[in-house]
Amino acid sequence: MDLNDTPEQAAFRAQVREWLAAHRAEAPPASGSAEDADYIAARRAWQRKLAEAGLAGVTWPREYGGQGKGPIEQVTVNQELARAQVPGILDVIGIGMLGPCLIAHGTEEQKSRYLGPMLHGDEVWCQLFSEPAAGSDLAAIQSRARRNDDGSWTLNGQKVWTTNAQFASFGLLLARTDPDVPKHKGLTMFIVPMNAPGVTVRGLRQISGEAEFNEVFFDDVQLAHDAVVGGVGNGWGTALTVLMFERLTIGSGAERYGSSDALARAIAADPAARRDAAVRRTFGEVMTELLAVRFNGYRALSTLAKGRIPGPEAGLAKVTLVNAGIRATDLGADIAGPDALAADSEWSYLISFLPGLKSAGGTEQILRNTIGERVLGLPPEPRLDKGVPFSELRSIEKEAVAR
């Protein structure tokens, strides 16, 4: 049981810290709007510098421009970036999830074409999985790719909740290529150029009024035969690789959370709140939960460092974090009173943002189903879609509603 660096890790940390000390003046601010083109350009340039210094793609193999290091070193970089109060890479989704999927399932041509520009921020990527009618039940997607006679593909459909689509060069897209087999079987993963004719990106306004995510529409988009990743009909397995890398990022945990820091400052600055037993009780409970997430993050990381993959229970950290964030925000806003809801208040943004986060990456309810079944071994829910060809599913669902 030891949270300290080994001599090798300490040397790596010193090297990272030294580079950041020398270059932190060149970094853009840690936060800014995705709709501000200048800010995004500055973040791309910063990612390039990080990549050249070996601070991006830390866990990628060396042959693809990475550092070939382990998850502990990735966390070291994250910690040092936070310590230096500078932003990290812009394309977290590409480098953290989609790049590793290409490394695992892509052809040599795909790897040599796409990985370098991704790493250096020249080409940002987005993840085109969720649809209006397929979120937690991802395999229910309806976006359809049909094979043309010359082996190319024609894509139609709609994706939603797409981060970074406004300025992404490519997207990794899950589409249905065979509706006449059960829903997990007829899927294929594609690389989609976001500037292809027929691709439309539209900002998705949320509760706050801001558009942090996008909807993406595909109208007869033509894809070359070599746009397929991981083989036709293997899309589900390829998607699971992406989702696994998503889970791995959980353990690389932040050590501080904006909402709880702001809450602590708000209580400390308000003598009446500070002496209020109910405020202290809620605050103590929230901080206890956040401490638990932090130290469970270290447990998950220790598992990863030994080459094992943390189980689905690691997903419980997300449930804890989001709910603790909601409680922290509500308490902070309660202390401030109606002023908390002013447009420029630090609380009003969080109040608007957090309810939707409960469903991000799969709803809390679906996550609890998965963990109940995979970790606790509880029997599954009865379901209508097992073994049924996707094309027949809609009529079975309609029948069930009519019954």
Partner 1 sequence: MNFELSDEQELLREAARGALSRHRTLEAARAALEDPDRRLDLWETAVSAGWPGLLISEERGGAGLGGFDALLIAEECGRVLASVPLLGMLPATAILQAANDETLEWIAAGRLRPVYLPARPPSELEPGWTVQPRSGHARAAAPRARAEGDELVLDGEVSFVPDAPGAELLVAVGVDQGGEPLAAVLQAGADGVEIEPTMRYDATRSLAHVRLSGARGRRLEVATETPADAWYLAQALIAAESLGAVQSCLEASVAYAKERFTFGRPIGSYQAIKHELTEVLRQLENARGLQYYAGWARESKPDEFPLAASAARSSAGGALDFAARAMINVHGGIGATWEHDAPLFFRRAQLSRRLLGGTHDATDRVAERTLATAA
Which residues bind to partner 1, rule: CB under 8 A?
A: 1-5, 9, 72, 75, 261, 264-265, 267-268, 274-275, 277, 280-281, 283-285, 287-289, 291-296, 298-299, 301-303, 305-306, 313, 316, 319-320, 365, 368-369, 371-373, 375-382
Closest CA to 300 of 29, 84, 74, 147: 74
* For partner 1, the closer CB: 113 or 274: 274
The one catalytic residue in 212, 246, 313, 373 is 246
Least Cβ distance, residue 346 to partner 1 (angstroms): 15
Q: What is the C-alpha to C-alpha distance for residues 258 and 34, in angstroms, rounded to an integer?
A: 19
Q: How many other CB atoms sit within 10 Å of the CB of residue 150?
A: 7
Least Cβ distance, residue 383 to partner 1 (angstroms): 11
Cβ-defined contacts of 204-212 (< 8 Å, 24+)? 204/160, 204/161, 206/352, 206/353, 206/356, 207/352, 207/353, 207/355, 207/356, 208/348, 208/349, 208/352, 208/353, 209/352, 211/35, 212/34, 212/163
Q: How does DSSP classify residue 253? A: -
Least Cβ distance, residue 334 to partner 1 (angstroms): 15
* For partner 1, the closer CB: 75 or 103: 75
Any catalytic annotation for residue 289? no
* For partner 1, the closer CB: 155 or 267: 267
* For partner 1, the closer CB: 161 or 283: 283
* For partner 1, the closer CB: 79 or 208: 79
**In this structure, what are the phi and psi dihedrals at residue 325, rounded to the nearest 5 degrees?**
-65, -40
Least Cβ distance, residue 283 to partner 1 (angstroms): 5
* For partner 1, the closer CB: 102 or 316: 316
* For partner 1, the closer CB: 152 or 369: 369
Least Cβ distance, residue 265 to partner 1 (angstroms): 5
Least Cβ distance, residue 223 to partner 1 (angstroms): 39
Token pair recorded at residue 399: 């029948």
CB 279 within 8 A of CB 268: no
Q: What is the C-alpha to C-alpha distance for residues 286 and 161, in angstroms, rounded to an integer?
A: 28
Q: What is the C-alpha to C-alpha distance for residues 384 and 396, in angstroms, rounded to an integer?
A: 8
Q: What is the C-alpha to C-alpha distance for residues 184 and 236, in angstroms, rounded to an integer?
A: 6
Give the distance between the most distant pair of CA atoms in the chain. Answer: 74
Helices (H), 84-107: 92-93, 99-105
6 Cα distance to chain centroid? 30
Phi-psi region of 188 (alpha: psi -120 to 50; beta: other; left: phi over 0): beta
Catalytic (active-site) positions: 246
